[in-house]
Amino acid sequence: MTTIKGPAIFLAQFMGDTSPYNNLKDICKWSAALGYKGVQIPTWDARCIDLQKAGESKTYCEELKGIVHEAGLEITELSTHLQGQLVAVNPAYDALFDGFAPESVRGNNKARSEWATQQLKYAAKASHWLGLNAHATFSGALLWHTMYPWPQRPAGLVETGFTELAKRWLPILNVFDECGVDVCYEIHPGEDLHDGITYEMFLDKVNQHPRACLLYDPSHFVLQCLDYKTYIDHYHQRIKAFHVKDAEFNASGKQGVYGGYQNWIDRAGRFRSLGDGQVDFKSIFSKLASYDYKGWAVLEWECCIKNSEDGAKEGAAFISDHIITVTEKAFDDFAGTGADENFNQRILGID
């Protein structure tokens, strides 16, 4: 067993236009003052990182590490959630997702996907130079608009969709493999990889690629009414990253998992600050520790009620309180009688 590393914080939701949220140095100092030990860096935010430069310059990566280390922190992972989304976008979502891309590729699905693919490759090299072994991202989606089969899905549609998704991701996975870094897909509604079954379908298409791993975030499973604890039992060998995010699901006679087109505050399923939702984090931390999870516990703050500063402050303490320092001895060692093979045979009555 391994003691989980943390607490750490995903900076994406906290970056802003005013100090200390507008540059990496200051937000790292802010994070450290709250008790965090690591930061997950959103690579689309130029206030944190120039991803292309990081993918092309080891010296620049050393400078980034120096800024983070100066605050007493470590980089846990880089994140390409927005770029990963753009690896595969169904045309129905082109206009909505164009805002994730630079103006030069907007309105051009193929060029946007090629840009996103290169971004992931930069992230692989940067992660290697930063000494990281895991990377956080989304899979993108070609099939999400057909999630509910009405009208009936044509025969072979899902097979074709996952074949294409794998075709786009295999070259990326291979670059990450060359760099010694796991790609950790956040299983998430809106992605073609949104539960265990879809992840397994993708794994089959990428030939069980050893770098096609998982970012575990229980909040998205609460909103899907999926057993997020048993999920760990199924996939613990592939879980290489962990977002600590709370959620709640309050079904009513008027609304269920689809949310009735309501804002987050009015949805049956909604994200909450740590400790304010329904996620059983004691069981999660116990399971991950017992399964020898070697990564970080990273706060991802999303809450439709509480403000972000309070969420960040409370989150550091919450994660610290849930990290289990694993035992190095059995609790009943005091009663041990010692043993060897002859003694064992005597106990069993074996001549």
* pLDDT tens-digit readout, 197-225: 999 999 999 999 999 999 999 999 999 99
pLDDT at 343: 87
pLDDT at 336: 78
pLDDT at 35: 98
Average pLDDT, the chain: 96
pLDDT at 328: 82
Residue 111, domain extent: 5-348
Question: Residue 49: left if φ>0, alpha if ψ -120 to 50, beta else—which one?
Answer: beta
The DSSP call for residue 268 is: S
Res 347 pLDDT > 90: no
Across 32-41, 48-57, 185-194, 339-348, least confident range = 339-348
Q: What is the pTM of this model?
A: 0.95
Query: Which CATH number do you get for residue 327?
Result: 3.20.20.150
How far is the CA of 35 from the CAs of 29, 31, 282, 296, 328, in angstroms? 10, 7, 20, 14, 26
Number of domains comprising the chain: 1
Res 330 pLDDT > 90: no
Res 276 pLDDT > 80: yes
Segment 249-260 shows an average pLDDT of 96
Segment 296-309 shows an average pLDDT of 97
pLDDT at 331: 76
Please give the Cα distance from 324 to 4 (Å, whole number): 7
Specify the residue for token string 């608009």. 145
Q: 338 falls in which pLDDT band (50, 70, 90)?
A: confident
